[in-house]
Structure 1
Amino acid sequence: MTSLTYSIGGCRVVTACLELRDACDRKDKERCLEAYQQVVTEYSTLRDKMKTICKMERAVIDDEAGGHSKK
């Protein structure tokens, strides 16, 4: 799962968080706001990709169960 997380944007979220922390440590308000927005953007992208993967996994499980699994 770790390599999957990296390939769908997990590293980008980590990088954005580190940049936000650095901006906060430097007390750079403008950079904090920009970095925060980047965290929100990267997290949203990662969340959407994870939702898609979960839907695909559910579809595979449903298919393997003959369409009889509970949703």
Structure 2
Amino acid sequence: MQRYERTRGTLLHAFTRLHEDGLLRDGVDPVAAARSTIAVMDGLQVQWLLDRSLLDMAEELRTFLRQLVVIEL
């Protein structure tokens, strides 16, 4: 449980900083983004544990985060 809380806190801090720097898409709430990311990570982990051949967990998570964050290169 401590690891979960620490991860949630870290994600909230990261999304808050992105929001402050104007790097989150308009209308994305940092708190909701952190919660959603944890939910997606949990769901992907369960799918991956059930059948590792069905998904690329890292790529699926990157795709989800790209939808939330404006990546400017």
TM class by shorter chain equals: 0.3 to 0.5
Q: Higher helix proportion, which one?
A: 1
RCO higher in structure (CA 8 A, sep ≥6)? 2
Select the structure of larger CA radius of gyration. Answer: 1
The alignment's TM-score, normalised by the length of structure 2, stands at 0.40
The alignment's TM-score, normalised by the length of structure 1, stands at 0.41
